[in-house]
Amino acid sequence: METKEDLRVMRTRKLLSMALFQLLQEQPFDKINVNDICEKSMVHRATFYNHFKDKNDLLNYIMDGIQEYIFEKSIEKETYQTTKEMYLSIVSNLIDFMTSQRKNLAMIFRNSLDKMLMLVSETIKRSLYYLMSKNKYKEEYLMPSDFIINFFTGGITTIGIDWLQSDNPYSKEELLSYFDILLDEKLFLKQKD
């Protein structure tokens, strides 16, 4: 059971996170300072420092939360009939999240490309390793599973970042149909006798 203190911590962190997102709409991350964040969130500066060491720490907190949310969504279903179904499910969940958070993710991307690339890449890779362990597909692969995971992680990450930057992004249906074609299981699964 959460205590009042836990709720206050969550509320304060949420206020600070929302303030940072609002400020990112107005100016680049490197122009924002802790005073701006505190003023926008109406949180005292000392309280800010009780939670975060600096604005980078706040951004990392936000990105950790995003990463954990994407991971949890991608593993809601743990077992799949085929690897293709598993990959398409992860892509679908990622598209849903990126669609719902497009504006905020685009702001983070503009202000911290490296962090955004790491967030997407690490989350996809973590999800795939977890789901592979639940589905025992590695025995069916023509090549090492880590090679396949790295290959698809790179592709999904690059396409996701390009999608965020696009003024006219592909629809979810278009993206899933393209991934469906690219995820031809004959390319990476042993042929059954």
Q: Reduce the secondary structure of 20-85 to three states and give it as a string.
A: HHHHHHHCCHHHCCHHHHHHHHCCCHHHHHHHCCCHHHHHHHHHHHHHHHHHHHHCCCCCCCCHHH
Does the pLDDT value for residue 18 go beyond 80? yes
Mean pLDDT of the region 102-128: 80
Mean of per-residue pLDDT scores for the chain: 84
Mean pLDDT of the region 26-49: 93
For residue 34, the model assigns a pLDDT of: 96
Contact 158, 190 (CB under 8 A): no
Where is mean pLDDT largest: 57-61, 100-104, 139-143? 57-61
Sorted by sequence, the CB contacts under 8 Å of residue 109 that are 6+ apart come out as: 116, 161, 164, 165
- Give the pair of three-digit tokens for residue 31: 């122009």
Distance of CA 59 to the CA centre of its chain: 14
Farthest CA pair distance, the chain = 68
For residue 167, the model assigns a pLDDT of: 84
Mean pLDDT of the region 134-156: 80
For residue 187, the model assigns a pLDDT of: 63
% of the chain at pLDDT higher than 70: 91
Does the pLDDT value for residue 186 go beyond 80? no
Q: How far apart are CA 88 and CA 178, in angstroms?
A: 10
Contact 163, 169 (CB under 8 A): yes
Helix/strand/coil for 141: strand
For residue 191, the model assigns a pLDDT of: 62
62 vs 110: which has the higher pLDDT: 62
* Digit-coded pLDDT (tens) for 162-185: 888 888 888 989 999 998 888 876
- Give the pair of three-digit tokens for residue 136: 């025992």
